[in-house]
Amino acid sequence: MKEFKLAMVQKRITGQDIEANTKLAVEYIREAKRNGADFVLFPECFLTSYGAPKICSLLRPVEEISQDPGFVRWCGEALSDDSKYLSAIRRAARESAVGVEITAFTRGEKYPQNTAYIIGRDGSVLLKYSKVHTCAFDWERYLEAGKEFKVCEFDGICLGTMICYDREYPESARELSLLGAELILVPNDCDHMKPYRLRELSVEAMQNMVGIAMANPPGKEAGCSSAFVPMVWDYEDNLLVEAKENYEGLVYAVFDMEAVRAWRREEDLGKYRRPGAYRHLTQEAWREAASPEKVVVELLIAKGWHISFAESCTGGLAAARLVSVPDASRVLDASFVTYANEAKVSCLGVLPESIRQYGVVSESVAEEMARGVADKNQAQVGVGITGIAGPGGGTVKKPVGMVCFGFYIDGKVHVYTKQFGDLGRNIVREKSVEFVYDTLVKLLGG
């Protein structure tokens, strides 16, 4: 395809009438077809509208609002993949023989996701993507975030997509570029578009050698649906088109795909990357891709170290988590569950005086447990865990949910106390193990 004509929908949806929003979307698809468009790009959450119940604005923990009638209704209104509204959009795409990127809140595992579907000319779903960078500082914290970026092929063009706040993270466009995207489509719904957010898109197009198109609803400091090409050096501007902020309707951009591809072949932006020098980026990606316990095993293997656990309230959960990782046998020889005070003394060498003076749930005892288990098993790393999981056993000074930790790391000791609260016995134990592995990753230098 030499030219790719894209229609960007600049329209604000204010109501949650999904039926009406779907009919309007179909009208825009048909209008775009009449004007010769190959593809129609909608703003963020066009079918369901972009908003949440009022209770979400209070930013309370989700557990506190999960039974609120408005919140329950909002979650229930999220669309399924076989929703009749999505089917109507697919049918309109097929009847008009155009591509479409339509957007909506959709059902996640437990809570809604902010989703875009790319639909082919035949009405088939080519790609389903859920927003990775949800706005966790605001009500979007109640959405389930997507886990990966994706691309698909449309008319021989490799398309990628990112939704609104994804745009603020340069890694988003870079990941799509590395996946082969030639054009990146951005359903959007935000204000303060000029100058910085438009500049942001311009730079991302240049740096990643991709075309970028963004559809945004109209409004004060909003609107400005626009498209950018990657070509820069001998061009006055890489902006193809930009709508006025209050304009309402379709905005058209024509990408010369032969020119875009020639630029990508001839220019060098992004071709000579040095990932080995991006140490913090690559380490962070490695950590996020692996579970903390896997990271701990890898770090211990790299250092040639062994680890041992001395567990009381966690009852062996920490050691079991490590054993779930392949190659755990290379770093773990033995561990102890020392539930009784006498076991802590006889197996680990904890001083009875420490227990009498500080109590068994104390940083002093946790430190002695960590030192003792490391010494007993000749390990470079020892972990001591002692706490009150509940439901009983708490006091005013040492309430249920208080857990003390000791970490012996090659001769140095670190101690911590966490107050998890009276969350239930097994939740306190699980949170204790999570804290152990998150802390080990940091202390081992991961």
pLDDT by residue (tens digit) across 422-441? 888 899 999 999 999 999 99
**Residue ranges making up the domain that contains 54:** 3-273
Predicted local confidence at residue 14, as pLDDT: 82
Q: Is the pTM of this model over 0.75?
A: no
Mean pLDDT of the chain: 94
Residues 114 and 250 occupy one common structural domain: yes
Whether 16 shows a pLDDT value over 90: the answer reads no
Residue 294's contacts (CB-CB under 8 Å, 6 or more residues apart) are: 325
Residues 347 and 260 occupy one common structural domain: no
Predicted local confidence at residue 105, as pLDDT: 98
Residues 197 and 283 occupy one common structural domain: no
Residues 90 and 170 occupy one common structural domain: yes
Q: Which residue has the higher pLDDT, 61 or 187?
A: 187
- Confidence band for 287, pLDDT divided at 50, 70 and 90: low
Predicted local confidence at residue 284, as pLDDT: 61
Q: Which of 159-168, 191-200, 281-290 has the lowest mean pLDDT?
A: 281-290
Q: Please report, rounded to a whole number, the percentage of residues in the chain having pLDDT higher than 90.
A: 85
Q: What is the CATH number of the domain that holds 408?
A: 3.90.950.20
Q: Please report, rounded to a whole number, the percentage of residues in the chain having pLDDT higher than 70.
A: 97
Contact in structure between 44 and 113 (CB atoms under 8 Å)? no
Whether 446 shows a pLDDT value over 90: the answer reads no
Residues 207 and 320 occupy one common structural domain: no
Predicted local confidence at residue 1, as pLDDT: 67
Residue 41's contacts (CB-CB under 8 Å, 6 or more residues apart) are: 6, 7, 8, 9, 101, 185, 187, 213, 215
Residues 292 and 261 occupy one common structural domain: no
CA separation for the pair 205, 238 (Å, rounded): 8
Helices 84-96 and 18-34: crossing angle in degrees, nearest 10, is 10
pLDDT by residue (tens digit) across 311-352? 999 999 999 999 999 889 999 999 999 999 999 999 999 999
The full DSSP string for 344-392 is: HHHHH---HHHHHHH-SSSHHHHHHHHHHHHHHHT-SEEEEEEE--SSS
- Confidence band for 283, pLDDT divided at 50, 70 and 90: low
Residues 176 and 158 occupy one common structural domain: yes
pLDDT by residue (tens digit) across 374-412? 999 999 999 999 999 989 899 999 999 999 999 999 999
Residues 109 and 238 occupy one common structural domain: yes
Whether 280 shows a pLDDT value over 70: the answer reads no
Predicted local confidence at residue 303, as pLDDT: 92
Domain boundary among 220, 252, 273: 273
- Please state the rounded mean pLDDT for residues 74-91: 97
Q: What is the CATH number of the domain that holds 36?
A: 3.60.110.10
Domain boundary among 273, 298, 329: 273
- As for how many domains the chain has, the answer is 2
Residue 53's contacts (CB-CB under 8 Å, 6 or more residues apart) are: 68, 70, 71, 73, 74
Residues 112 and 257 occupy one common structural domain: yes
- Confidence band for 47, pLDDT divided at 50, 70 and 90: very high
Contact in structure between 4 and 227 (CB atoms under 8 Å)? no
User: Is residue 335 helix, strand or coil?
Assistant: coil
Domain boundary among 273, 306, 330: 273
Whether 282 shows a pLDDT value over 70: the answer reads no
Residues 340 and 422 occupy one common structural domain: yes
Predicted local confidence at residue 151, as pLDDT: 96
Residues 241 and 306 occupy one common structural domain: no
Helices and strands, counts by H and E, the chain: 14, 17
Residues 125 and 67 occupy one common structural domain: yes
- Chain centroid to CA 45: how far? 18
